[in-house]
Amino acid sequence: PGPMRLVAQLNVQRSTERRPPQLVQSLQQPFDPRAFNFTRLRAGEVLLRLRGTGSAAPDPLLVAINASPLERGHVLLLP
């Protein structure tokens, strides 16, 4: 109801049921293709592609299924 029209939601189970995060030792650590990354999405996980119009339109944005959703209908927007 406020001027920003934002919604805050407490998800208590998020901290107890989440998978362990990957260890990040540095922001400059080398890319590990065996670890989780969004280049490994399966075709069935991509719900749709959003494309701009015009010749200078960037690569499409992907809307993908979230394997660890916070709420029903939670998806990922991947630039």
Q: Which of 9, 18, 13 is nearest to 66 (CA)?
A: 18
* Cα 41 from Cα 3, distance rounded (Å): 37
pLDDT, one tens digit for every residue, the chain (79 residues): 788 888 887 777 777 777 777 788 888 988 888 888 888 888 889 999 988 777 676 788 899 998 777 777 888 888 8
The runs of H, that is alpha helices, within the chain are 13-17
* Cα 79 from Cα 77, distance rounded (Å): 7
Q: What are the residue boundaries of the structural domains of the chain, listed by start?
A: 38-78
